[in-house]
């Protein structure tokens, strides 16, 4: 079994190759290590191997890790990538650097109101249901523009771009299609005058397809930390 450091290096090499194939600079694609269900010790091992950006799905679990790694907090960027309920917005606004999963104006407004004034603006992305799945969170493509315009003017937030979790696909061509749709949506928002620069898309199984279609953050968990342990006995967040 490879170590976390070895896994990280392998993922970095995959990203570099994908960026080169896309005619992009490798540094144009950020690696977000998805540490949900992983221990604080695993996160610290990734930190020791040079990783600085971490993605979490569950708020309380993330807060525990943020506290456990408080000694290196200034060097880390914590990204919430999972669904966010209204009753968790205050702690998220206070503790995280990024939120990728904004899909309602109410959530954005609460994050804006609750972001402490002494912290930099909270970086946010709109989660888009790019595949139109009924069971998946995210704003439909035809509603993205209106939500983006409303979120972009909120104080204490900086709207950076879009995030999506497309349904799995077997071929690279099929993987690329939803990522292409998300990129096209971002370009439409840019044409409307919004200064957006972020596409959060692609995971362990489809990161190459995402990079080819313009991803700027790729969210990778199992390829770094291994198979996930079940979250038995934990309350939903």
C-alpha span between 124 and 5 (Å, rounded): 29
Written as one string, the DSSP assignment of 161-217 is EEE--PPP-SSHHHHHHHHHHHHHHHHHHHHTT----EEE---TTTHHHHHHTT-SE
Task: Count Cβ neighbours within 10 Å for each residue of 113-124 and write b for 16 or more, e otherwise.
Answer: eebeeeeeebbb
Which one, of 54, 47, 143, 41, lies nearest residue 102 by Cα? Answer: 143
Q: For residue 218, is it within any domain?
A: yes
Q: Find all residues with CB under 8 Å of 162, minimum gap 6, and list them.
A: 125, 126, 127, 128, 144, 182, 185, 186, 189, 196, 198, 199, 200, 201
Which parts of the chain register pLDDT below 50? 233-237
* Percent of the chain as helix, strand, coil, to the nearest 5: 45, 15, 40
Tell me if 230 is assigned to some domain.
Answer: no
Task: Tell me the per-residue pLDDT of 129-156, one tens digit each, with 9 for 90 and over.
Answer: 998 776 778 999 999 999 999 999 999 9
At 143-195, the pLDDT tens digits run: 999 999 999 999 999 999 999 999 889 999 999 999 999 999 999 999 999 99
Domain that holds residue 187: 4-225
Task: Indicate which CATH number applies to the domain containing 67.
Answer: 3.20.20.10
Is 233 a domain residue?
no
The number of CA neighbours under 13 Å toward the Cβ of 131 is: 18
Residue 185 is assigned to a structural domain of this protein: yes
pLDDT for residue 234:
43
The confidence score (pLDDT) of residue 230 equals: 65
8 A C-beta contact, residue 118 and residue 93:
no
Q: Is residue 231 part of a domain?
A: no
Structural domains of the chain, count: 1
Residue 16 lies in a domain: yes
Residue 235 placed within a domain: no
């Amino acid at each position: 079994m490879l170590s976390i450091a070895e896994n990280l290096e392998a993922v970095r090499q995959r990203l570099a190759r994908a960026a080169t194939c896309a005619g992009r600079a490798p540094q144009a694609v950020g690696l977000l290590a998805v540490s949900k269900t992983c221990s604080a010790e695993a996160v610290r091992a990734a930190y020791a191997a040079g990783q600085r950006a971490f993605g979490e799905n569950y708020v309380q679990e993330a807060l525990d890790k943020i506290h456990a790694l408080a000694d290196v907090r200034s060097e880390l960027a914590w990204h919430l990538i999972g669904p966010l309920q209204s009753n968790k917005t205050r702690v998220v606004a206070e503790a995280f650097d990024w939120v990728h999963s904004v899909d309602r104006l109410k959530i954005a407004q609460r994050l804006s109101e609750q972001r402490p004034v002494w912290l930099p603006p909270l970086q946010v992305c709109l989660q888009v249901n790019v595949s139109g799945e009924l069971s998946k969170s995210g704003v439909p493509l035809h509603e993205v523009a209106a939500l983006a315009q409303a979120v972009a003017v909120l104080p204490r937030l900086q709207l950076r771009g879009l995030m999506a979790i497309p349904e799995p696909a077997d071929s690279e061509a099929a993987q690329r299609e939803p990522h292409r749709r998300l990129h096209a949506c971002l370009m439409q928002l840019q044409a409307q005058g919004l200064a957006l620069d972020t596409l959060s898309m692609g995971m362990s199984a489809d990161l190459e397809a995402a990079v080819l279609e313009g991803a700027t953050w790729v969210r990778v968990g199992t390829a770094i930390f291994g198979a996930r342990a079940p979250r038995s006995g934990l309350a939903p967040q």
